[in-house]
Amino acid sequence: MRPFARMFGLPIFWETFGAMEHSLRTGLPAAGEVFGEGFFDYLAQRPQEGQVFNAAMAAKAHGAIAGILSSYDFSTCEVIGDIGGGSGHLLRAILADAAPKARGIVFELPHVIEEASGIAFERLTLQAGDFFRDPLPTCDAYLLMEVIHDWRDEESAAILRAVRHAAPAGAKLLLIETIVPDGPGPHWSKMLDIHMLTLLAGANAPSKTTKRSSPTLDLSSSMRSTPAPASRSSRRLPPSRGLLPTDRPTLTAPCLTTRPRSFPSMRRGGDHGGGFPASFRVCACGAAS
């Protein structure tokens, strides 16, 4: 919880939340109205605050890693790209425990890569870039963990197109996102939805990540549905669709959902900085041959 408490005290959070009315009235991020620049641009220009933010993201992800590793069989992967992967917390765990023969590439913004430079080793390399401008690495599996919810539909589609452009035939894309429950009660994902609207104008919104909705992925039919290989400890759940509404040809992707019980440190507020109940959906999509 400490990294999250420090993050919420940063000016980009505290002062932006005070201007939330701007986002509610316009649908635009209040961060730009208050600071005159985008959220990630703000952090890039303020390294100390960026380090606080990255530490909070790593703590949150650590609480989810066990559930993700038990939900997907990574053993057949040879090169895994973690796109927008921060300090590589998820990818490092995959390489250590779930894919001991695979190589990994963390693709992140230059200032994040500079801060994370110490994590690189023989099987893990770091690549600096911007997924809106720079080519992504060629991999046979791609991870997007809680990246898509940061962005509006147009930017989300651009990220997915970048993955498809870099992906060789037969590559897999794993989209890992928090699910917004259907009920009216309190839930961390709903607070996250408000944060995304205010800070980034992205959304964990019903059109993207609720259980009830049937959103779709627009990849111009360049990817195909593939079975998501479950690990021995995981349980196959009914298929779900992707994340983006569109009128174009669509793709359905089998999914595995990790239940809250898969995240003990998140339930109990354990050593990894958790404390928030969560349910993640891991969607597997395959690039067409």
State both tokens at 270. 């354990």
Contact 266, 276 (CB under 8 A): yes
CATH number at residue 69: 3.40.50.150
* Angle at alpha carbon of residue 160, lines to 120 and 145, rounded to 5°: 50
Q: Mean pLDDT lowest for which of 78-92, 169-183, 221-235?
A: 221-235
Domain span including residue 241: 2-287
Q: What length does the chain have?
A: 289
Query: In 3D, which of 287, 288, 258 has the Cα closest to residue 63?
Result: 258
- Identify the residue with better confidence: 229 or 13: 13
DSSP state of 115: H
For β-strands 255-258 and 280-287, DSSP reports them as antiparallel
| Mean pLDDT of all residues belonging to the chain | 74
pLDDT digits (tens, 9 = 90+) for 131-161: 999 999 999 999 998 888 888 888 889 999 9
**pLDDT band for position 123 (cuts 50, 70, 90):** very high
In terms of DSSP H, where are the helices of the chain?
2-8, 11-17, 20-26, 30-35, 39-44, 47-69, 89-93, 110-115, 153-166, 188-199, 206-209, 264-268
Q: Mean pLDDT lowest for which of 16-25, 29-38, 97-106, 233-242?
A: 233-242
Percent of the chain with pLDDT over 90: 28
Q: How many domains does the chain contain in total?
A: 1
- pTM of the full predicted structure? 0.67
Cα–Cα distance list, 66 to 7, 90, 110 (Å): 24, 10, 28
| 62 catalytic residue (yes or no) | no
Per annotation, catalytic residue among 22, 62, 149, 195:
149
Residue 91 pLDDT > 60: yes
pLDDT digits (tens, 9 = 90+) for 174-228: 998 887 888 888 887 888 888 888 888 654 433 444 444 334 444 443 455 444 5
What pLDDT score was predicted for residue 116? 87
